[in-house]
Amino acid sequence: MTTLEDLKKQAAEKAVELIEPGMVVGLGTGSTAVYAVRALGEMLQNGRLSHIIAIPTSEATATLARECAIPLTTLNDHPIIDLTIDGADEIAPNLDLTKGLGGALLREKIVAAASKRNIIIADHTKLVDKLGSRAPIPVEVVGFAERPLTLFLESLGARVVQRMAKDGTGNPFITDEGNLILDCHVAPLDDPAVFAQAVIGRPGVVEHGLFLGLATQAIVAMPNEVVILSR
């Protein structure tokens, strides 16, 4: 029986086939992106691919990439990325996305904005009619503004939950940039751009997890096939 992990792996391996020698590649963060990083490492090690350099979207991805012997670089040295492969928490029909459950939404959006092509990989459960249907909208905020921003986001109709670390300490989750994440549970969004504009304009908000107009394609593993969706 095919599992969701099998489907994630299928989508990731399909996406990695798009990488060509000489490319600067963005490496995403999250459970599906892990499969892409491992597949890329295997292609480099067995000689199927060569002469690529990668920019990771999180410290966790950087660590995995080094373990897979993938050469890394930075945006300062390579500010234009040829192709980024990353996952998503939700994919709308127009390829707008919700991202950030892996905690790397800020770096992910920076990398996405610097990329010529953004390839999203996912299993079919991530497809939704409207963003906000199955996942909260993460909002990365500076710690100084946590309480007033919680009240502000609640005024927009969100049920706000501060993300906590998974280490059992009871401490807040801290992003790679030293910020907090407020997970906003909302009703399915008819117009995500309106919510996004309201949120990003508030002082203390660093970034939100609505990735609007950034995805080029989505490679989605269905139970019986892998489909490619294009904007």
Give ∠ CA 11-225-8 in degrees, rounded to 5.
Answer: 25
What does the pLDDT read at residue 103?
A: 96
Regions of the chain where pLDDT drops below 70: none
Neighbours of 90 (CB within 10 A): 27
pLDDT at 63: 98
Q: What CA–CA distance (Å, rounded) separates 67 from 116?
A: 27
pLDDT of residue 95: 98
Q: What CATH code is carried by the domain that includes residue 154?
A: 3.30.70.260
Q: Write out the DSSP string of 128-172.
A: -SSTTSSS-EEEEE-GGGHHHHHHHHHHTTPEEEE-B-TTSS-PB
50/11 same-domain check: yes
Picking from 136, 102, 138, the residue whose alpha carbon sits closest to that of residue 27 is: 102
Q: What is the pLDDT of residues 75-95, one digit of tens each?
A: 999 999 999 999 999 999 999
pLDDT given for residue 230 in this prediction: 95
- Looking up residue 120, the CATH number of its domain turns out to be 3.40.50.1360
Q: Are residues 196 and 224 in the same domain?
A: no
Annotated active-site residue in 13, 17, 59, 108: 108
Q: Do 187 and 218 have their domain in common?
A: no
How many other C-beta atoms are found inside a 10 Å radius of the C-beta of residue 197?
Answer: 13
Q: What is the pLDDT of residue 231?
A: 85
> Do 118 and 142 fall within a single domain?
no
Total domain count for the chain? 2
Tell me if residue 177 is catalytic: no
Domain that holds residue 173: 137-204
Cα–Cα distances in angstroms (integers) from residue 215 to residues 23, 97, 108, 128, 145, in the given order: 18, 8, 12, 15, 30
148 shares its domain with 74: no
pLDDT at 145: 98
Do 124 and 39 reside in the same domain of the chain? yes
220 and 185 inside one domain: no
Please report the pLDDT score of residue 1 as a whole number. Answer: 82
Claim to verify: residue 11 and residue 96 sit in the same structural domain: yes
